[in-house]
Structure 1
Amino acid sequence: MAGAALTAAQARPPGYYVRQRLLQNKPALAGLLFIALCTLIALLGYWVLPDSSPNANHGFVALQKQPPGLTVQFLRLPVAGSAPAAGNIFTTWLHGREPQFEEIAIAPGSYRTLGADSVEYRPWTAPGTAPAPPQRIKASFTHSPIHSFTHWLGTDKAGRDTLSRLLLGTRISLGIGFVAVLISLVLGMAIGALAGYFGGWVDSLLLGLMTVVWSIPGIMLVIAISLALDSKGVWVSFVAVGLTMWVDVARVVRGQMLSLRSATFVEAGRVLGLPTHRLIARHLLPNMRGPLIVLATSNFAAAILLEAGLSFLGLGVQPPAPSWGLMVKEGYDLLGTEAGLWLTLLPGTAISLLVLSFNLLGNGLRDAYDPKTAVNG
């Protein structure tokens, strides 16, 4: 019986018990589900946005700073000159789609036709204000030109749909987190492995480099890198944030490497004549998978916060890209007004929930890889 139980345990796929312990951790599972939802929204991108224009930047001056739940009727007019190309599915997913009509916000029920080539309407005005005088334009339609649109989370100071920009912001936040973690893992693993495996003067030199970078505040280092590259924008933020987070990874890898380099299987590999790079890449680094995965989740959360801080300061993602940090800044500029509250609260809540989800997932992974602290179901 004992042999059969051992055989069944050996038949389990790698990571089976880690997954089981993770599934028993309800906070970690909730964080994972929220991250998966945000990832799905980021991958679908413009396909699921109420406003699929590039950067969800299709705004109306008359609708600026309107509260959540506002429903507006629009009069759709043909675009003067040649209409924008519709584009293929991939182009729409990557860059969005230019509006196919010129839209005018009108008062509900105010549209009526005057003959065959004229229409009359009243422009939309905010609730509680005097109605605008009727306007008359020459236009003919082969289909109904009236379209209703609901701004479920209101509009920002430029009259853009807040929900669309908030959803599109997941792509920037998760994208920066992913690239930053990827850069930090590659650079940190390489430097940490060299320092821990070879030791001696190599370890002293690389450890000194880690200490110097570690002593510089992350936000200051990102600012310095952005100024050195003499550029701003999404890709500069990706690189700058990634280059500030590799020290954590390098220190963990170095510590693990120092404890593993004298292990029996490493000595056996040396005796067999395995090349150093293969010994490190195929036999040592895989033994650090657990700590590195846990560290990657915490770095993901830190990267999102760092990008939001940079965008808030105007050094990260630039307008009109819908970064959550930039949206917090736009709402902060309006504090003291009714609109400033929700325009600051909505992106701030999104940042907090996503960072909290990564922290909960990181805690769950830490417990799952350490059976001594595993959550019992």
Structure 2
Amino acid sequence: MSRQVPPAVVLIALLVSVVVAGPLLSPYAPNAQLDIIALRSQAPSLAHPFGTDAASRDVFSRVLEGGRVSLALAVLSVSLSLVVATLYGAISTLVGGVVDTTMRRLLDVALSIPRLLVLLAVGALWGALSFPALVLLIGLTGWFDTARVVTDELHALSTREFTVAARAMGVRGPRLLWRHLLPHLLPTLVINASFGVAATIALEAGLSYLGLGIQAPQASWGTILRDGAGVVQSEWWLSLFPGLATVFAVLACNALGDALRERFAPNHVPSLATSLAASLAPSSSRTLRP
């Protein structure tokens, strides 16, 4: 009997399909100025389903392009965070002793610093940041909580029977980590990645809205929202459609994380409302606690 596909998987598949197929679905180039006079700030129509902006650019095409940019930024920065967090937790666990204690205390200090304040300070000091710089900035400020979870999980796994047996057989260091610990840690990383992508999509939209993230004329959901910030009543479509896209993406990633957590850790399943609220917080705390 085949197992039913979870709705979260359908949502993610739909999101990824639309984002990947964006260049094929876009009727116009995202930055193309179609007619600066006749097509300026046009309401949604059959020719332009999401309307046009003040520069006569097709908003539907820009929302599709913005989805590619926002999702790519989220996936790359979360991947960087997971790599750094896993390396940090692995070193702390394998070395142990004073090094482990010191590294844990350093994590506590790092977690006490509000992430959003760090991002705002860096954005204010450096001004416009390139896409790779944003990936590094978001990725290198978002791994602390995941590192603590990874460290706790690896410590718990290091006392399990299969790890003790491997050590008795002479397995040590990187081989113990690679062959015996990381395979059991993988579900935790995947769950945290799903929640992390949701949080980063919302974070990027906020930073771009403030002018500290993706810079115009590059399309992202945050920059489109910024274009409509002062004209919400007269040009409501500039805020509605990228806002709905952001909410849908965050909900889809959180729903996937909840489904994965229910599958691999049924005793640690929060409500979807709690997941969404945590993902929209300045510093993501959506992590799996062992």
TM-score range normalised by the length of the shorter chain: 0.7 to 0.9
Q: Distance in 2 between matches of 1:228 and 1:206?
A: 29
| 2:246 is equivalent to residue 351 of structure 1 | yes
| 2:265 is equivalent to residue 360 of structure 1 | no
Structure 1 residues without counterparts, runs of 5 or longer: 1-18, 71-149
> Which residue number in structure 2 is paired with residue 85 of structure 1?
none
Q: Distance in 2 between matches of 1:316 and 1:59?
A: 26
Contact in 2 for aligned 1:172/1:323 (Cα 8 Å): yes
| 2:45 is equivalent to residue 69 of structure 1 | yes
Question: Match of 2:226, as an amino acid?
Answer: K
Q: Distance in 2 between matches of 1:169 and 1:365?
A: 27
Bigger share in strand: 1
Q: Distance in 2 between matches of 1:298 and 1:158?
A: 35
Q: Distance in 1 between matches of 2:262 and 2:91?
A: 29
Q: How far did 1:367 drift?
A: 0.7
Equivalences for residues 194-233 of structure 1 within 5 A: 194-226=91-123, 231-233=128-130
Q: Distance in 2 between matches of 1:282 and 1:252?
A: 20
Query: 1:27-66: CA deviations, max 9, x gaps?
Result: xx2x3323222222332332321003xx433342212211
Equivalences for residues 1-377 of structure 1 within 5 A: 20=3, 23=4, 25=6, 29=7, 31-52=8-29, 55-62=30-37, 63-69=39-45, 150-226=47-123, 231-335=128-232, 337-339=233-235, 341-370=236-265
Contact in 1 for aligned 2:127/2:212 (Cα 8 Å): no
Q: Distance in 2 between matches of 1:227 and 1:215?
A: 21
Bigger share in helix: 2
> Which residue number in structure 2 is paired with residue 143 of structure 1?
none
Question: Match of 1:65, as an amino acid?
Answer: S
Instruction: Give the TM-score, by structure 2 length.
Output: 0.84
Question: Equivalent pairs: percent with the same residue?
Answer: 36
Question: Match of 2:234, as an amino acid?
Answer: E
Instruction: Give the TM-score, by structure 1 length.
Output: 0.66
Contact in 2 for aligned 1:219/1:310 (Cα 8 Å): no
Matched position secondary structure for 2:72: helix
Contact in 2 for aligned 1:181/1:300 (Cα 8 Å): yes
Q: Distance in 1 between matches of 2:268 and 2:114?
A: 32
Q: Distance in 2 between matches of 1:366 and 1:248?
A: 17
Q: How far did 1:325 drift?
A: 0.6
Contact in 1 for aligned 2:40/2:55 (Cα 8 Å): yes
Q: Distance in 2 between matches of 1:278 and 1:59?
A: 58
Question: Match of 1:338, as an amino acid?
Answer: S
Bigger-Rg structure (1/2) = 1
> Which residue number in structure 1 is paired with residue 279 of structure 2?
none
Question: Match of 2:256, as an amino acid?
Answer: L
CA distance 1:33–1:187, shift in 2 (3 Å):
same
Matched position secondary structure for 1:338: coil
Question: Match of 1:58, as an amino acid?
Answer: Q
Question: Match of 2:35, as an amino acid?
Answer: F
Aligned length: 268
> Which residue number in structure 2 is paired with residue 75 of structure 1?
none
